[in-house]
Amino acid sequence: MSRFDGKSAVVTGAASGMGRAIALALAAEGASVVVADISADGGAETVAMIDAQDGRARFLRTDVSSSDDVQALVDLAVSAHGGLDLGVNAAAIENETSPIADCEEAVFDRMIAVNLRSVFLCMKYEARAMRSQGRGGSIVNIASTNSFRPQPNQAAYTASKHGVLGLTRAGAVDHAADAIRVNAVCPGAIETPMLLGAIEARGRDKDEVARRLSLFGRFGTTQEIAQAVLWLCSDESSFTTGHALAVDGGYLAR
Ligand SMILES: NC(=O)c1ccc[n+]([C@@H]2O[C@H](COP(=O)([O-])OP(=O)(O)OC[C@H]3O[C@@H](n4cnc5c(N)ncnc54)[C@H](O)[C@@H]3O)[C@@H](O)[C@H]2O)c1
């Protein structure tokens, strides 16, 4: 018996990076996963990887900033996998390189739509499905160490990730009575296309960044994030809700 046998999960941002690792890990422990992402190629690859490990998954191209898409995603999990037990909201973008005085308003608006309003939409429809089936559930939002401490030239991203923590705590308060737990994982510097793209855009040195952003002098792995997410999804964390779990190589301790 695996931890997530018989469980139905949606994972957004599952075409790449952490979302993919989380989808693979959930499926490896028995969950049926709907892989959601705006990238159809990456999403299909994730499903192929899960198929190759004899897991159960299907892909739905989803723009998490669209309410219709998010509703369709939750509806698919419910109709194809018999309900919804787990919602992991990992999709986001990060493409700012200027201080707030030069931050384009369109950049701010897009970041809030994709990184924050999306989490509201996902939580809303995930919690609605979980509440109506009456067996509770677990929602895990991927926030950031930027939810606590901003990096330079990331005002919109930082605002969005502070907001994700607010939604996490509000969701925990609103839905405890429905046996729905809502938590956040706050990654530090994790080696993914997003981090490598940000380093390149800023012309930084990878080793210097790793030393500065982690007490271990290395980047975290997507598997290290997936293990934390799986704990928060599982009954092992049954008394934990509204919590922000930093998985950051000690960055916030400094
Ligand atoms: N990598 C890091 O160091 C780091 C640190 C802290 C927090 N995070 C957070 O971790 C999460 C995962 O990031 P990652 O590093 O794995 O990035 P990634 O770029 O590898 O993956 C993000 C995924 O989100 C998808 N996506 C983007 N916009 C979308 C949209 N509108 N609708 C649906 N999907 C969309 C992308 O296609 C991509 O597959 C994000 O929430 C990110 O903010 C990352």
Q: Name the closest-CA residue to atom 30, ligand 1.
A: 63
Tell me which residues are annotated as active site: 157
Interatomic CA distance for residues 61 and 165, integer angstroms: 26
Distance, CA 134 to ligand 1 centroid (Å)? 31
Q: Which atom of ligand 1 is nearest to the CA of 18?
A: 16
Q: How far is CA 67 from CA 30, 63, 114, 122, 190, in A?
A: 29, 9, 11, 8, 29
Q: Which atom of ligand 1 is nearest to the CA of 197?
A: 19
Q: How many residues does the chain have?
A: 254
Q: Name the closest-CA residue to atom 23, ligand 1.
A: 13
Distance, CA 36 to ligand 1 centroid (Å)? 12
Distance, CA 90 to ligand 1 centroid (Å)? 6
**CB count in 10 Å sphere of residue 82:** 13
Distance, CA 13 to ligand 1 centroid (Å)? 6
Distance, CA 177 to ligand 1 centroid (Å)? 31
Classify domain 8-253 at the CATH topology level: Rossmann fold (3.40.50)
Q: Name the closest-CA residue to atom 14, ligand 1.
A: 17
| Order of all β-strands in the sheet with 86-89 | 56-61, 32-37, 8-12, 86-89, 137-142, 180-187, 244-247
Pairing status of strand 86-89 against strand 8-12: parallel
So what's the pLDDT on residue 1?
82
As given in the structure block, the two tokens for residue 166 are 């607010």
pTM above 0.95, yes or no: yes
* Domain range annotation of the chain: 8-253
Interatomic CA distance for residues 44 and 95, integer angstroms: 24
What residue ranges line ligand 1, CB within 6 angstroms? 12-13, 15-19, 37-39, 42, 62-65, 90-94, 114, 142, 144, 187, 189-190, 192-195
Q: Name the closest-CA residue to atom 20, ligand 1.
A: 17
As given in the structure block, the two tokens for residue 231 are 């704990």
The pLDDT tens digits along the chain (254 residues) read 899 999 999 999 999 999 999 999 999 999 999 999 999 999 999 999 999 999 999 999 999 999 999 999 999 999 999 999 999 999 999 999 999 999 999 999 999 999 999 999 999 999 999 999 999 999 999 999 999 999 999 999 999 999 999 999 999 999 999 999 999 999 999 999 999 999 999 999 999 999 999 999 999 999 999 999 999 999 999 999 999 999 999 999 99
So what's the pLDDT on residue 168?
99
Pocket test for ligand 1, best of 115, 194, 196, 218 (most atoms within 8 A of CB): 194
The pLDDT tens digits of the residues spanning 123-173 come to 999 999 999 999 999 999 999 999 999 999 999 999 999 999 999 999 999
